[in-house]
Structure 1
Amino acid sequence: MAATLDTTAPADGGLWDAHVHVFSPDAPVQAGHYRPRHFPLERIEAEAAACGVQHLVLVQPSVYGTDNTVMLEALASRPGRHRGVAVVDAAVTDAELDRMHALGVRGVRFNLVSPVGNGPAAFQALAPRLRDRSWHVQWYASPRHLAEIAALHGAAGASGAPIPCVLDHLAGMHAGLADGDPAWGHLAALAEQGTCWVKLSGWYRLDCAAPYTALHAAIRRVAALAPGRLVWGSDWPHTAFEPDALPAYASVWQPVAEALAPHEAAAARRDAVGLYG
Protein backbone atom coordinates (compact mmCIF):
# COMPACT_ATOMS: atom_id res chain seq x y z
CA MET A 1 0.00 0.00 0.00
CA ALA A 2 1.37 3.42 -0.92
CA ALA A 3 2.82 5.47 1.94
CA THR A 4 1.56 8.83 0.70
CA LEU A 5 -2.17 8.27 0.90
CA ASP A 6 -4.26 11.13 2.25
CA THR A 7 -5.92 9.70 5.37
CA THR A 8 -6.86 13.03 6.90
CA ALA A 9 -10.43 12.97 8.19
CA PRO A 10 -12.62 16.07 8.14
CA ALA A 11 -12.10 17.38 11.66
CA ASP A 12 -14.55 20.27 11.85
CA GLY A 13 -17.21 18.28 13.73
CA GLY A 14 -19.67 18.94 10.93
CA LEU A 15 -22.78 16.99 10.02
CA TRP A 16 -22.80 14.19 7.46
CA ASP A 17 -25.14 12.89 4.80
CA ALA A 18 -23.86 9.36 4.33
CA HIS A 19 -25.66 8.42 1.12
CA VAL A 20 -25.88 10.58 -2.00
CA HIS A 21 -25.24 9.95 -5.68
CA VAL A 22 -23.91 12.21 -8.40
CA PHE A 23 -24.81 11.72 -12.06
CA SER A 24 -23.60 13.01 -15.39
CA PRO A 25 -25.77 12.65 -18.51
CA ASP A 26 -22.64 11.98 -20.59
CA ALA A 27 -21.33 8.99 -18.63
CA PRO A 28 -21.93 5.51 -20.08
CA VAL A 29 -24.49 3.37 -18.25
CA GLN A 30 -24.99 -0.36 -17.82
CA ALA A 31 -27.20 -2.05 -20.41
CA GLY A 32 -30.85 -2.14 -19.42
CA HIS A 33 -30.55 0.73 -16.95
CA TYR A 34 -32.21 4.13 -17.03
CA ARG A 35 -30.42 7.17 -18.40
CA PRO A 36 -29.67 9.46 -15.42
CA ARG A 37 -30.30 13.18 -15.55
CA HIS A 38 -27.66 15.74 -14.61
CA PHE A 39 -27.27 15.81 -10.82
CA PRO A 40 -23.88 17.39 -10.08
CA LEU A 41 -22.08 17.62 -6.75
CA GLU A 42 -22.66 21.37 -6.53
CA ARG A 43 -26.42 20.89 -6.38
CA ILE A 44 -26.45 18.43 -3.49
CA GLU A 45 -23.82 20.47 -1.64
CA ALA A 46 -26.15 23.47 -1.77
CA GLU A 47 -29.20 21.50 -0.62
CA ALA A 48 -27.25 19.86 2.20
CA ALA A 49 -25.65 23.12 3.33
CA ALA A 50 -29.08 24.71 3.67
CA CYS A 51 -29.78 22.08 6.35
CA GLY A 52 -26.41 22.47 8.06
CA VAL A 53 -24.79 19.38 6.47
CA GLN A 54 -21.18 19.89 5.43
CA HIS A 55 -19.91 16.43 4.44
CA LEU A 56 -21.27 13.93 1.93
CA VAL A 57 -20.61 10.28 1.22
CA LEU A 58 -20.81 9.76 -2.54
CA VAL A 59 -22.03 6.23 -3.22
CA GLN A 60 -21.39 4.67 -6.60
CA PRO A 61 -24.81 3.98 -8.19
CA SER A 62 -25.48 0.64 -9.87
CA VAL A 63 -26.20 2.35 -13.19
CA TYR A 64 -22.45 2.96 -13.69
CA GLY A 65 -21.30 -0.52 -12.69
CA THR A 66 -17.59 -0.50 -11.81
CA ASP A 67 -16.84 2.69 -13.73
CA ASN A 68 -16.39 5.05 -10.78
CA THR A 69 -15.28 8.02 -12.90
CA VAL A 70 -18.16 10.38 -12.08
CA MET A 71 -17.86 9.81 -8.34
CA LEU A 72 -14.07 10.04 -8.29
CA GLU A 73 -14.02 13.26 -10.29
CA ALA A 74 -16.49 14.76 -7.82
CA LEU A 75 -14.30 13.74 -4.87
CA ALA A 76 -11.22 15.15 -6.57
CA SER A 77 -12.94 18.51 -6.97
CA ARG A 78 -13.27 18.88 -3.17
CA PRO A 79 -10.06 17.46 -1.70
CA GLY A 80 -10.60 16.09 1.81
CA ARG A 81 -14.16 17.37 2.20
CA HIS A 82 -16.27 14.36 1.20
CA ARG A 83 -15.90 10.60 1.14
CA GLY A 84 -16.81 7.86 -1.33
CA VAL A 85 -17.97 4.26 -1.56
CA ALA A 86 -16.92 2.57 -4.80
CA VAL A 87 -18.04 -0.48 -6.75
CA VAL A 88 -15.16 -2.68 -7.89
CA ASP A 89 -14.61 -6.27 -8.92
CA ALA A 90 -11.93 -8.70 -7.83
CA ALA A 91 -9.68 -7.74 -10.76
CA VAL A 92 -9.17 -4.18 -9.53
CA THR A 93 -5.49 -3.40 -9.04
CA ASP A 94 -3.90 -2.34 -5.77
CA ALA A 95 -2.75 0.83 -7.49
CA GLU A 96 -6.35 1.73 -8.33
CA LEU A 97 -7.53 1.01 -4.79
CA ASP A 98 -4.75 3.24 -3.47
CA ARG A 99 -5.70 6.01 -5.90
CA MET A 100 -9.30 5.76 -4.72
CA HIS A 101 -8.22 5.91 -1.09
CA ALA A 102 -6.20 9.06 -1.75
CA LEU A 103 -9.32 10.66 -3.23
CA GLY A 104 -11.44 9.76 -0.21
CA VAL A 105 -12.95 6.33 -0.90
CA ARG A 106 -13.42 4.36 2.31
CA GLY A 107 -15.57 1.42 1.30
CA VAL A 108 -16.85 -0.88 -1.42
CA ARG A 109 -20.51 -1.43 -2.19
CA PHE A 110 -21.91 -4.87 -2.89
CA ASN A 111 -25.34 -4.96 -4.44
CA LEU A 112 -27.55 -8.02 -4.04
CA VAL A 113 -30.63 -6.22 -5.38
CA SER A 114 -29.51 -5.02 -8.81
CA PRO A 115 -29.04 -7.63 -11.57
CA VAL A 116 -25.66 -6.06 -12.38
CA GLY A 117 -24.46 -5.94 -8.78
CA ASN A 118 -21.41 -7.71 -7.41
CA GLY A 119 -21.86 -10.12 -4.53
CA PRO A 120 -20.44 -12.69 -2.11
CA ALA A 121 -17.72 -14.07 -4.40
CA ALA A 122 -16.30 -10.59 -4.99
CA PHE A 123 -16.48 -9.84 -1.26
CA GLN A 124 -14.52 -12.96 -0.38
CA ALA A 125 -11.87 -12.21 -3.00
CA LEU A 126 -11.49 -8.57 -1.99
CA ALA A 127 -11.72 -8.99 1.80
CA PRO A 128 -7.95 -9.08 2.52
CA ARG A 129 -7.32 -5.92 0.52
CA LEU A 130 -10.25 -4.10 2.10
CA ARG A 131 -8.93 -5.07 5.52
CA ASP A 132 -5.46 -3.77 4.65
CA ARG A 133 -6.92 -0.34 3.89
CA SER A 134 -9.33 -0.26 6.86
CA TRP A 135 -12.23 0.00 4.42
CA HIS A 136 -15.74 -1.15 5.15
CA VAL A 137 -18.27 -3.06 3.06
CA GLN A 138 -21.62 -1.56 2.16
CA TRP A 139 -24.43 -3.99 1.33
CA TYR A 140 -27.52 -3.09 -0.64
CA ALA A 141 -29.59 -6.12 0.22
CA SER A 142 -33.05 -7.32 1.16
CA PRO A 143 -33.99 -8.92 4.50
CA ARG A 144 -33.68 -12.39 2.98
CA HIS A 145 -29.96 -11.76 2.38
CA LEU A 146 -29.05 -10.90 5.98
CA ALA A 147 -28.30 -14.46 7.06
CA GLU A 148 -25.82 -14.83 4.20
CA ILE A 149 -24.20 -11.48 4.99
CA ALA A 150 -23.86 -12.44 8.66
CA ALA A 151 -22.17 -15.69 7.68
CA LEU A 152 -19.80 -13.93 5.26
CA HIS A 153 -18.68 -11.40 7.85
CA GLY A 154 -18.42 -14.04 10.53
CA ALA A 155 -16.10 -16.07 8.32
CA ALA A 156 -14.05 -13.00 7.41
CA GLY A 157 -13.66 -12.14 11.08
CA ALA A 158 -12.52 -15.67 11.86
CA SER A 159 -9.63 -15.37 9.40
CA GLY A 160 -8.46 -11.89 10.30
CA ALA A 161 -9.57 -8.57 11.71
CA PRO A 162 -13.33 -8.04 11.30
CA ILE A 163 -14.42 -6.03 8.28
CA PRO A 164 -17.07 -3.47 9.21
CA CYS A 165 -20.26 -3.57 7.19
CA VAL A 166 -22.92 -0.98 6.50
CA LEU A 167 -26.42 -2.10 5.58
CA ASP A 168 -28.15 0.25 3.17
CA HIS A 169 -31.66 1.59 3.60
CA LEU A 170 -32.57 0.37 7.11
CA ALA A 171 -31.14 -3.06 6.24
CA GLY A 172 -34.19 -3.51 4.00
CA MET A 173 -36.53 -3.78 7.00
CA HIS A 174 -39.56 -2.58 5.11
CA ALA A 175 -42.93 -1.43 6.37
CA GLY A 176 -44.60 -4.76 5.62
CA LEU A 177 -42.03 -6.93 7.41
CA ALA A 178 -43.61 -8.90 10.25
CA ASP A 179 -42.35 -8.38 13.79
CA GLY A 180 -41.45 -12.07 13.96
CA ASP A 181 -39.75 -12.31 10.58
CA PRO A 182 -36.47 -14.29 10.82
CA ALA A 183 -34.63 -11.34 9.26
CA TRP A 184 -34.78 -9.55 12.61
CA GLY A 185 -32.80 -12.38 14.18
CA HIS A 186 -30.25 -12.29 11.38
CA LEU A 187 -29.86 -8.54 11.80
CA ALA A 188 -29.36 -9.05 15.54
CA ALA A 189 -26.66 -11.63 14.78
CA LEU A 190 -24.87 -9.13 12.54
CA ALA A 191 -25.17 -6.40 15.17
CA GLU A 192 -23.72 -8.70 17.82
CA GLN A 193 -20.54 -9.00 15.76
CA GLY A 194 -19.92 -5.38 16.82
CA THR A 195 -18.89 -4.00 13.45
CA CYS A 196 -22.27 -3.67 11.73
CA TRP A 197 -23.70 -0.23 10.97
CA VAL A 198 -27.15 0.53 9.57
CA LYS A 199 -27.92 3.38 7.23
CA LEU A 200 -31.09 5.32 7.98
CA SER A 201 -32.07 6.07 4.40
CA GLY A 202 -34.20 5.17 1.41
CA TRP A 203 -37.60 5.26 3.12
CA TYR A 204 -39.46 5.23 -0.20
CA ARG A 205 -37.68 1.98 -1.07
CA LEU A 206 -39.27 0.29 1.94
CA ASP A 207 -42.92 -0.04 0.93
CA CYS A 208 -43.76 3.27 2.54
CA ALA A 209 -44.92 6.71 1.48
CA ALA A 210 -44.26 10.14 2.99
CA PRO A 211 -44.28 11.08 5.82
CA TYR A 212 -43.06 7.50 6.49
CA THR A 213 -44.59 7.17 9.94
CA ALA A 214 -45.21 3.46 9.26
CA LEU A 215 -41.44 2.95 9.55
CA HIS A 216 -41.00 4.58 12.96
CA ALA A 217 -41.24 1.28 14.87
CA ALA A 218 -38.69 -0.37 12.57
CA ILE A 219 -36.32 2.60 12.92
CA ARG A 220 -36.51 2.35 16.70
CA ARG A 221 -35.99 -1.42 16.65
CA VAL A 222 -32.96 -1.13 14.39
CA ALA A 223 -31.53 1.63 16.61
CA ALA A 224 -31.89 -0.64 19.65
CA LEU A 225 -30.00 -3.44 17.88
CA ALA A 226 -27.12 -1.22 16.74
CA PRO A 227 -26.77 1.62 19.26
CA GLY A 228 -24.08 4.08 18.28
CA ARG A 229 -23.72 2.50 14.84
CA LEU A 230 -26.29 4.40 12.82
CA VAL A 231 -25.67 6.81 9.97
CA TRP A 232 -28.20 8.91 8.12
CA GLY A 233 -28.32 9.34 4.37
CA SER A 234 -30.70 11.32 2.18
CA ASP A 235 -30.39 8.99 -0.85
CA TRP A 236 -30.38 12.15 -3.00
CA PRO A 237 -31.33 12.51 -5.85
CA HIS A 238 -34.04 10.00 -5.01
CA THR A 239 -34.00 8.03 -8.25
CA ALA A 240 -37.42 6.53 -7.54
CA PHE A 241 -38.91 9.98 -8.31
CA GLU A 242 -39.17 12.12 -11.40
CA PRO A 243 -36.66 15.01 -11.40
CA ASP A 244 -39.42 17.60 -11.02
CA ALA A 245 -41.00 15.80 -8.04
CA LEU A 246 -38.07 15.13 -5.70
CA PRO A 247 -38.77 15.02 -1.96
CA ALA A 248 -37.59 18.07 -0.06
CA TYR A 249 -34.15 17.40 1.38
CA ALA A 250 -35.24 17.97 4.97
CA SER A 251 -38.24 15.63 4.59
CA VAL A 252 -36.07 12.50 4.49
CA TRP A 253 -34.42 13.49 7.78
CA GLN A 254 -37.80 13.93 9.49
CA PRO A 255 -38.51 10.20 10.12
CA VAL A 256 -35.26 9.94 12.09
CA ALA A 257 -36.03 13.06 14.11
CA GLU A 258 -39.52 11.79 14.88
CA ALA A 259 -38.69 8.15 15.63
CA LEU A 260 -35.55 8.50 17.76
CA ALA A 261 -34.60 10.36 20.89
CA PRO A 262 -32.88 13.66 20.11
CA HIS A 263 -29.40 12.45 21.08
CA GLU A 264 -29.77 9.30 18.95
CA ALA A 265 -31.00 11.26 15.95
CA ALA A 266 -28.24 13.84 16.25
CA ALA A 267 -25.57 11.14 16.45
CA ALA A 268 -26.70 9.63 13.14
CA ARG A 269 -25.45 12.79 11.40
CA ARG A 270 -22.23 13.08 13.40
CA ASP A 271 -20.91 9.55 13.91
CA ALA A 272 -20.25 8.91 10.21
CA VAL A 273 -16.71 10.16 10.77
CA GLY A 274 -16.04 6.85 12.52
CA LEU A 275 -16.60 5.03 9.24
CA TYR A 276 -15.43 7.54 6.69
CA GLY A 277 -12.51 9.23 8.40
Structure 2
Amino acid sequence: MPTAAGRDAHPDANADASADADAGAGACWDAHVHVFDADAPTQPGHYRPAHHPLERIEGVAAAHGVRHLVLVQPSVYGTDNAVMLRALAARPGRHRGVAVVDAAVPDALLDRMHALGVRGVRFNRVSPVGNGPEAFRALAPRLRERSWHVQWYAGPEHLAEIAALHAGTGVACVLDHLAGLHAELPADDAAWSALAALAAQGAWIKLSGWYRLRAQAPYGALQETVRRVADLAPGRLVWGSDWPHTSFAADAMPAYDSVWQPVVEALGPVRAGTVRQNASRLYA
Protein backbone atom coordinates (compact mmCIF):
# COMPACT_ATOMS: atom_id res chain seq x y z
CA MET A 1 0.00 0.00 0.00
CA PRO A 2 1.53 3.40 -0.91
CA THR A 3 2.10 5.84 1.89
CA ALA A 4 2.31 9.62 1.85
CA ALA A 5 6.11 9.38 1.80
CA GLY A 6 6.43 6.50 -0.63
CA ARG A 7 3.94 7.08 -3.39
CA ASP A 8 6.60 7.57 -6.08
CA ALA A 9 6.39 3.81 -6.61
CA HIS A 10 2.74 4.12 -7.65
CA PRO A 11 2.13 3.44 -11.38
CA ASP A 12 0.46 6.84 -11.73
CA ALA A 13 3.16 8.74 -9.83
CA ASN A 14 3.99 10.86 -12.89
CA ALA A 15 0.39 12.07 -12.97
CA ASP A 16 0.74 13.04 -9.31
CA ALA A 17 3.94 14.95 -10.01
CA SER A 18 2.48 16.87 -12.95
CA ALA A 19 -0.61 17.65 -10.87
CA ASP A 20 1.49 19.16 -8.09
CA ALA A 21 3.48 21.26 -10.56
CA ASP A 22 0.41 22.48 -12.43
CA ALA A 23 -1.49 23.42 -9.25
CA GLY A 24 1.37 25.00 -7.34
CA ALA A 25 1.76 28.18 -5.33
CA GLY A 26 0.13 31.24 -6.82
CA ALA A 27 -2.62 29.35 -8.64
CA CYS A 28 -6.21 30.47 -8.05
CA TRP A 29 -8.66 27.81 -6.90
CA ASP A 30 -12.36 27.30 -6.43
CA ALA A 31 -12.33 24.71 -3.66
CA HIS A 32 -15.97 23.61 -3.73
CA VAL A 33 -17.89 22.76 -6.90
CA HIS A 34 -20.06 19.83 -7.97
CA VAL A 35 -20.44 18.21 -11.36
CA PHE A 36 -23.58 16.35 -12.40
CA ASP A 37 -24.45 13.94 -15.19
CA ALA A 38 -28.19 13.93 -15.76
CA ASP A 39 -28.00 10.30 -16.93
CA ALA A 40 -26.18 8.98 -13.87
CA PRO A 41 -28.18 6.99 -11.29
CA THR A 42 -29.05 8.82 -8.07
CA GLN A 43 -29.85 7.74 -4.54
CA PRO A 44 -33.51 6.92 -3.79
CA GLY A 45 -35.42 9.85 -2.36
CA HIS A 46 -33.02 12.47 -3.68
CA TYR A 47 -33.68 15.15 -6.28
CA ARG A 48 -32.87 14.54 -9.92
CA PRO A 49 -30.01 16.92 -10.79
CA ALA A 50 -29.77 18.85 -14.02
CA HIS A 51 -26.79 18.28 -16.31
CA HIS A 52 -23.83 20.35 -15.11
CA PRO A 53 -20.63 19.04 -16.74
CA LEU A 54 -17.07 19.93 -15.84
CA GLU A 55 -16.42 22.02 -18.94
CA ARG A 56 -19.24 24.38 -17.99
CA ILE A 57 -17.81 25.33 -14.60
CA GLU A 58 -14.29 25.42 -16.06
CA GLY A 59 -15.43 28.10 -18.48
CA VAL A 60 -17.22 30.13 -15.83
CA ALA A 61 -14.30 29.93 -13.39
CA ALA A 62 -11.67 30.73 -16.02
CA ALA A 63 -13.49 33.93 -16.89
CA HIS A 64 -12.76 35.03 -13.30
CA GLY A 65 -9.11 33.98 -13.23
CA VAL A 66 -9.72 30.61 -11.54
CA ARG A 67 -8.08 27.64 -13.25
CA HIS A 68 -8.22 24.89 -10.62
CA LEU A 69 -11.30 23.29 -9.08
CA VAL A 70 -12.02 20.94 -6.21
CA LEU A 71 -14.81 18.58 -7.25
CA VAL A 72 -16.82 17.57 -4.21
CA GLN A 73 -18.94 14.43 -4.39
CA PRO A 74 -22.61 15.47 -4.08
CA SER A 75 -24.82 13.51 -1.71
CA VAL A 76 -27.24 12.65 -4.52
CA TYR A 77 -24.75 10.04 -5.81
CA GLY A 78 -23.96 8.49 -2.44
CA THR A 79 -20.70 6.52 -2.55
CA ASP A 80 -20.79 6.12 -6.32
CA ASN A 81 -18.05 8.59 -7.25
CA ALA A 82 -18.02 7.69 -10.95
CA VAL A 83 -19.18 11.09 -12.25
CA MET A 84 -16.54 12.96 -10.27
CA LEU A 85 -13.77 10.48 -11.14
CA ARG A 86 -14.55 10.69 -14.87
CA ALA A 87 -14.29 14.47 -14.65
CA LEU A 88 -10.92 14.28 -12.89
CA ALA A 89 -9.64 11.78 -15.46
CA ALA A 90 -10.61 14.15 -18.27
CA ARG A 91 -8.17 16.81 -16.97
CA PRO A 92 -5.17 14.94 -15.58
CA GLY A 93 -3.43 16.95 -12.88
CA ARG A 94 -5.55 20.07 -13.20
CA HIS A 95 -8.21 19.58 -10.52
CA ARG A 96 -8.70 17.77 -7.21
CA GLY A 97 -11.53 15.73 -5.74
CA VAL A 98 -13.22 14.98 -2.42
CA ALA A 99 -14.98 11.61 -2.42
CA VAL A 100 -17.67 9.95 -0.35
CA VAL A 101 -16.79 6.39 0.68
CA ASP A 102 -17.86 3.87 3.27
CA ALA A 103 -15.58 2.13 5.74
CA ALA A 104 -15.34 -0.98 3.57
CA VAL A 105 -13.87 0.81 0.55
CA PRO A 106 -10.98 -1.27 -0.88
CA ASP A 107 -7.45 0.10 -0.64
CA ALA A 108 -7.05 -0.37 -4.37
CA LEU A 109 -9.94 2.01 -5.03
CA LEU A 110 -8.52 4.61 -2.65
CA ASP A 111 -5.21 4.39 -4.49
CA ARG A 112 -6.91 4.77 -7.88
CA MET A 113 -8.77 7.81 -6.56
CA HIS A 114 -5.52 9.29 -5.30
CA ALA A 115 -3.89 8.88 -8.71
CA LEU A 116 -6.81 10.77 -10.26
CA GLY A 117 -6.51 13.65 -7.79
CA VAL A 118 -8.76 12.81 -4.83
CA ARG A 119 -7.33 14.23 -1.61
CA GLY A 120 -10.13 13.89 0.91
CA VAL A 121 -13.32 12.18 2.03
CA ARG A 122 -16.48 14.08 2.79
CA PHE A 123 -18.56 13.39 5.88
CA ASN A 124 -22.05 14.84 6.04
CA ARG A 125 -23.61 15.47 9.46
CA VAL A 126 -26.41 17.58 7.97
CA SER A 127 -27.93 14.72 5.99
CA PRO A 128 -29.32 11.71 7.85
CA VAL A 129 -27.56 9.41 5.35
CA GLY A 130 -24.11 10.94 5.87
CA ASN A 131 -21.13 9.15 7.40
CA GLY A 132 -20.72 9.42 11.17
CA PRO A 133 -18.13 8.90 13.92
CA GLU A 134 -17.87 5.12 13.50
CA ALA A 135 -16.90 5.42 9.84
CA PHE A 136 -14.40 8.17 10.70
CA ARG A 137 -12.64 5.96 13.25
CA ALA A 138 -12.51 3.08 10.79
CA LEU A 139 -11.19 5.16 7.89
CA ALA A 140 -8.82 7.48 9.74
CA PRO A 141 -5.68 5.27 9.61
CA ARG A 142 -6.03 4.69 5.87
CA LEU A 143 -6.67 8.37 5.18
CA ARG A 144 -3.64 9.37 7.24
CA GLU A 145 -1.43 6.98 5.25
CA ARG A 146 -2.44 8.80 2.06
CA SER A 147 -2.23 12.30 3.60
CA TRP A 148 -5.92 12.79 2.87
CA HIS A 149 -8.18 15.02 4.92
CA VAL A 150 -11.76 14.71 6.09
CA GLN A 151 -14.16 17.37 4.93
CA TRP A 152 -17.16 17.90 7.20
CA TYR A 153 -20.50 19.33 6.16
CA ALA A 154 -21.75 19.99 9.67
CA GLY A 155 -23.65 22.40 11.84
CA PRO A 156 -22.21 24.42 14.73
CA GLU A 157 -23.64 21.88 17.16
CA HIS A 158 -21.32 19.22 15.69
CA LEU A 159 -18.01 21.07 16.01
CA ALA A 160 -17.13 19.85 19.52
CA GLU A 161 -17.69 16.24 18.44
CA ILE A 162 -15.54 16.77 15.34
CA ALA A 163 -12.74 18.27 17.42
CA ALA A 164 -12.78 15.26 19.73
CA LEU A 165 -12.76 12.83 16.80
CA HIS A 166 -9.76 14.46 15.11
CA ALA A 167 -7.65 14.91 18.23
CA GLY A 168 -4.51 12.79 17.94
CA THR A 169 -5.48 11.12 14.64
CA GLY A 170 -3.11 13.00 12.35
CA VAL A 171 -5.97 13.45 9.88
CA ALA A 172 -6.51 17.03 8.74
CA CYS A 173 -9.98 18.53 9.16
CA VAL A 174 -11.71 20.75 6.60
CA LEU A 175 -15.01 22.41 7.52
CA ASP A 176 -17.51 23.19 4.78
CA HIS A 177 -19.51 26.36 4.45
CA LEU A 178 -17.96 28.57 7.16
CA ALA A 179 -18.11 25.66 9.61
CA GLY A 180 -21.89 26.09 9.69
CA LEU A 181 -21.60 29.36 11.63
CA HIS A 182 -24.83 30.90 10.43
CA ALA A 183 -25.85 34.54 10.62
CA GLU A 184 -28.11 34.00 13.63
CA LEU A 185 -25.48 32.28 15.80
CA PRO A 186 -24.79 34.22 19.05
CA ALA A 187 -21.29 35.64 19.38
CA ASP A 188 -20.79 33.67 22.61
CA ASP A 189 -22.15 30.35 21.32
CA ALA A 190 -20.19 27.30 22.42
CA ALA A 191 -19.49 26.53 18.75
CA TRP A 192 -16.87 29.27 18.77
CA SER A 193 -14.88 27.52 21.49
CA ALA A 194 -15.14 24.25 19.57
CA LEU A 195 -13.94 25.98 16.40
CA ALA A 196 -11.01 27.47 18.31
CA ALA A 197 -10.06 23.95 19.42
CA LEU A 198 -10.26 22.71 15.83
CA ALA A 199 -8.18 25.66 14.62
CA ALA A 200 -5.55 24.81 17.24
CA GLN A 201 -5.44 21.31 15.74
CA GLY A 202 -4.82 22.81 12.29
CA ALA A 203 -8.34 22.71 10.83
CA TRP A 204 -9.12 24.46 7.54
CA ILE A 205 -12.36 26.36 6.88
CA LYS A 206 -14.11 26.85 3.55
CA LEU A 207 -15.60 30.26 2.90
CA SER A 208 -18.59 29.06 0.91
CA GLY A 209 -22.30 28.37 0.90
CA TRP A 210 -23.39 31.78 2.19
CA TYR A 211 -27.02 31.11 1.28
CA ARG A 212 -26.95 28.00 3.46
CA LEU A 213 -26.18 30.14 6.51
CA ARG A 214 -29.45 32.05 7.07
CA ALA A 215 -28.14 35.05 5.18
CA GLN A 216 -29.34 36.91 2.12
CA ALA A 217 -27.27 38.36 -0.72
CA PRO A 218 -24.98 40.28 -0.59
CA TYR A 219 -24.38 38.46 2.75
CA GLY A 220 -23.23 41.43 4.81
CA ALA A 221 -24.67 39.71 7.89
CA LEU A 222 -21.78 37.22 7.71
CA GLN A 223 -18.91 39.69 7.40
CA GLU A 224 -17.97 39.76 11.07
CA THR A 225 -18.20 35.98 11.26
CA VAL A 226 -15.81 35.67 8.29
CA ARG A 227 -13.33 38.03 9.96
CA ARG A 228 -13.50 36.15 13.24
CA VAL A 229 -12.96 32.82 11.50
CA ALA A 230 -10.03 34.29 9.55
CA ASP A 231 -8.40 35.39 12.81
CA LEU A 232 -8.81 31.89 14.27
CA ALA A 233 -7.30 30.08 11.27
CA PRO A 234 -4.93 32.47 9.47
CA GLY A 235 -3.55 30.93 6.31
CA ARG A 236 -5.99 28.01 6.47
CA LEU A 237 -8.97 29.47 4.63
CA VAL A 238 -10.06 28.38 1.19
CA TRP A 239 -12.90 29.68 -0.95
CA GLY A 240 -15.54 27.71 -2.81
CA SER A 241 -18.34 28.90 -5.07
CA ASP A 242 -20.61 25.89 -4.33
CA TRP A 243 -21.47 25.87 -8.06
CA PRO A 244 -24.01 24.93 -9.44
CA HIS A 245 -25.83 26.14 -6.33
CA THR A 246 -28.28 23.30 -5.88
CA SER A 247 -30.43 25.45 -3.57
CA PHE A 248 -31.43 27.53 -6.60
CA ALA A 249 -33.39 26.89 -9.76
CA ALA A 250 -31.22 26.55 -12.86
CA ASP A 251 -32.45 29.90 -14.21
CA ALA A 252 -31.83 31.73 -10.91
CA MET A 253 -28.28 30.72 -10.04
CA PRO A 254 -26.13 33.40 -8.38
CA ALA A 255 -23.53 35.05 -10.55
CA TYR A 256 -20.12 33.47 -9.99
CA ASP A 257 -18.51 36.68 -8.78
CA SER A 258 -21.36 37.37 -6.35
CA VAL A 259 -20.28 34.50 -4.07
CA TRP A 260 -16.64 35.62 -4.15
CA GLN A 261 -17.37 39.26 -3.32
CA PRO A 262 -18.34 38.56 0.33
CA VAL A 263 -14.75 37.41 0.96
CA VAL A 264 -13.38 40.63 -0.51
CA GLU A 265 -15.82 42.74 1.51
CA ALA A 266 -14.97 40.96 4.76
CA LEU A 267 -11.18 40.64 4.42
CA GLY A 268 -10.17 43.30 1.91
CA PRO A 269 -8.76 42.59 -1.56
CA VAL A 270 -5.19 41.74 -0.53
CA ARG A 271 -6.04 39.28 2.23
CA ALA A 272 -8.90 37.85 0.18
CA GLY A 273 -6.54 37.22 -2.73
CA THR A 274 -4.50 34.79 -0.66
CA VAL A 275 -7.61 32.76 0.16
CA ARG A 276 -7.97 31.61 -3.45
CA GLN A 277 -4.32 30.50 -3.44
CA ASN A 278 -4.25 28.63 -0.11
CA ALA A 279 -5.83 25.59 -1.72
CA SER A 280 -2.58 24.85 -3.54
CA ARG A 281 -1.21 23.77 -0.15
CA LEU A 282 -4.26 21.91 1.12
CA TYR A 283 -4.79 19.89 -2.06
CA ALA A 284 -1.18 19.27 -3.09
TM-score range, shorter chain: over 0.9
Q: Secondary structure at the match of 1:270?
A: helix
What letter matches 1:244 in structure 2? D
What letter matches 1:23 in structure 2? F
Cα separation, 1, equivalents of 2:182 and 2:246: 18
Residue matched to 1:202: 209
Cα separation, 2, equivalents of 1:12 and 1:131: 23
Shift of 1:116: 1.5
Q: How many pairs align?
A: 271
Cα separation, 1, equivalents of 2:233 and 2:260: 19
> 1:126 aligned to 2:133?
no
Q: Secondary structure at the match of 1:51?
A: coil
Sort the Cα spacing of 1:176 and 1:12 in 2 relative to 1 into closer, same or farther, 3 A: closer
Superposition pairs of residues 102-117 of structure 1, within 5 angstroms: 102-117=115-130
Residue matched to 2:281: 274
Residue matched to 2:16: 7
Cα separation, 2, equivalents of 1:264 and 1:64: 36
Measured against aligned partners, the alpha-carbon deviations of 1:25-78 in whole angstroms (never above 9, x if no partner) come to 111111111000000000000000000000000000111000000000000000
TM-score (ref. length: structure 2): 0.94
Percent identity between the aligned chains? Answer: 72
> 1:83 aligned to 2:87?
no
Cα separation, 2, equivalents of 1:200 and 1:61: 18
> Do the aligned partners of 2:25 and 2:280 also contact (CA within 8 Å) in 1?
no
Cα separation, 1, equivalents of 2:187 and 2:26: 37
Cα separation, 2, equivalents of 1:249 and 1:119: 32
Residue matched to 1:183: 191
Cα separation, 1, equivalents of 2:26 and 2:195: 30
Superposition pairs of residues 6-85 of structure 1, within 5 angstroms: 6-8=15-17, 9=20, 10-11=23-24, 13-85=26-98
Gaps of 5+ in 2: 3-8
Which segment is superposed worse, 207-216 or 1-10? Answer: 1-10
Cα separation, 1, equivalents of 2:119 and 2:55: 21
What letter matches 1:119 in structure 2? G
Cα separation, 2, equivalents of 1:150 and 1:264: 27
Q: 2:261 aligns with which of 245, 254, 265?
A: 254
Cα separation, 1, equivalents of 2:171 and 2:271: 24
Shift of 1:119: 1.5
Q: Secondary structure at the match of 1:108?
A: strand
What letter matches 1:173 in structure 2? L
TM-score (ref. length: structure 1): 0.96
Measured against aligned partners, the alpha-carbon deviations of 1:203-233 in whole angstroms (never above 9, x if no partner) come to 0000011000000010001001101000000
What letter matches 1:163 in structure 2? V
Q: Secondary structure at the match of 2:16?
A: coil
Cα separation, 2, equivalents of 1:216 and 1:13: 25
Shift of 1:261: 3.0
Cα separation, 2, equivalents of 1:163 and 1:98: 17
Sort the Cα spacing of 1:262 and 1:142 in 2 relative to 1 into closer, same or farther, 3 A: same
Cα separation, 1, equivalents of 2:100 and 2:236: 23
Sort the Cα spacing of 1:12 and 1:225 in 2 relative to 1 into closer, same or farther, 3 A: closer
Q: Secondary structure at the match of 1:76?
A: helix
Q: Give the alignment's Cα RMSD to 1 decimal.
A: 1.0
Q: 2:218 aligns with which of 190, 202, 211?
A: 211
Shift of 1:262: 2.7
